Amino acid sequence: MQDQFIDKNMPSLISDLQKLIRQPSISAKNLGLEECARLVVQIMRKSGIKAEILRIGKNIPPTVYGEVRSVQNPNKTILFYNHYDVQPEEPLELWDDKPFSGKRRGNKIYGRGSADDKGELITRIKAVEAFLKTTGDVPCNIKFLVEGEEEVGSIHVEDYLRRYRNKLSCNAIIWEFGYVDEKDRPIISLGMKGLLYVELSLQESIRDAHSSLAVLIENPAWRLVEALKTLRDKNGKILIKDWYKEADNFTYEELKVIASEPFDEKSFKKEYGIRRFVGNKKGAEIRKALVGAPTCNIAGFTSGYEGPGAKTVLPSTALVKIDFRLIPKMNPLKQLRRLKQHLKEKGFGDIQVKMIHGEAASRTKISDKFVKTVRQAANESFGRSILSVSSAGTGPMYSFSKILKAPCISVGSTYVFSRIHSPNEFARIDLLRKTTKCMCKIIKKFSNQLP
Residues that bind Zn ion (CB under 5 A): 116
We find the least distance from the C-beta atom of residue 408 to Zn ion, in angstroms, to be 17
Q: Which is nearer to Zn ion, 116 or 254 (CB)?
A: 116
CA-based nearest residue to 348, from 231, 241, 205, 211: 231
Distance in Å from the first CA to the final CA of the chain = 26
Cα–Cα distance measured from residue 116 to residue 414, given in angstroms and rounded to the nearest whole number: 8
We find the least distance from the C-beta atom of residue 290 to Zn ion, in angstroms, to be 19
Which residues does residue 323 pair with via DSSP β-bridges, in sequence order?
197, 297
Which residues does residue 187 pair with via DSSP β-bridges, in sequence order?
386
The answer to whether the beta carbons of residues 204 and 223 sit under 8 Å apart is yes
Please report, for residues 114, 223, 303, 314, 321, the alpha-carbon distance to residue 202 in angstroms, rounded to integers and kept in the order given: 43, 8, 10, 14, 12
Q: Which is nearer to Zn ion, 116 or 129 (CB)?
A: 116
Cα–Cα distance measured from residue 447 to residue 171, given in angstroms and rounded to the nearest whole number: 10
We find the least distance from the C-beta atom of residue 185 to Zn ion, in angstroms, to be 21
Q: Which is nearer to Zn ion, 116 or 120 (CB)?
A: 116
φ, ψ of residue 331 in degrees (nearest 5): -95, 120
Cα–Cα distance measured from residue 48 to residue 64, given in angstroms and rounded to the nearest whole number: 15
Greatest alpha-carbon pair distance for the chain in Å reads 82
* DSSP3 helix / strand / coil % (the chain, rounded to 5): 35, 20, 40
Cα–Cα distance measured from residue 122 to residue 20, given in angstroms and rounded to the nearest whole number: 9
We find the least distance from the C-beta atom of residue 193 to Zn ion, in angstroms, to be 16
Cα–Cα distance measured from residue 409 to residue 397, given in angstroms and rounded to the nearest whole number: 9
Q: Which is nearer to Zn ion, 16 or 85 (CB)?
A: 85
The answer to whether the beta carbons of residues 330 and 251 sit under 8 Å apart is no
Q: Which is nearer to Zn ion, 82 or 399 (CB)?
A: 82
φ, ψ of residue 351 in degrees (nearest 5): -75, 130
We find the least distance from the C-beta atom of residue 437 to Zn ion, in angstroms, to be 24
We find the least distance from the C-beta atom of residue 63 to Zn ion, in angstroms, to be 17
The answer to whether the beta carbons of residues 128 and 48 sit under 8 Å apart is yes
Helices (H) and strands (E) in the chain, counts: 13, 21
We find the least distance from the C-beta atom of residue 382 to Zn ion, in angstroms, to be 22
Cα–Cα distance measured from residue 369 to residue 421, given in angstroms and rounded to the nearest whole number: 34
Q: Which is nearer to Zn ion, 150 or 204 (CB)?
A: 150
We find the least distance from the C-beta atom of residue 350 to Zn ion, in angstroms, to be 38
We find the least distance from the C-beta atom of residue 133 to Zn ion, in angstroms, to be 30
- CB atoms under 10 Å from CB of 367, counted, come to 9
Q: Which is nearer to Zn ion, 130 or 397 (CB)?
A: 397
Whether a cis peptide bond, with omega within 30° of 0, leads into 117 is yes
Q: Which is nearer to Zn ion, 16 or 149 (CB)?
A: 149
The answer to whether the beta carbons of residues 122 and 144 sit under 8 Å apart is no
Which residue in the shown chain puts its C-beta closest to Zn ion?
116
We find the least distance from the C-beta atom of residue 75 to Zn ion, in angstroms, to be 34
β-pairing, 297-303 vs 317-326, is antiparallel
Q: Which is nearer to Zn ion, 171 or 414 (CB)?
A: 414
Q: Which is nearer to Zn ion, 195 or 258 (CB)?
A: 195
Which residues does residue 209 pair with via DSSP β-bridges, in sequence order?
314
Q: Which is nearer to Zn ion, 2 or 154 (CB)?
A: 154
We find the least distance from the C-beta atom of residue 151 to Zn ion, in angstroms, to be 5
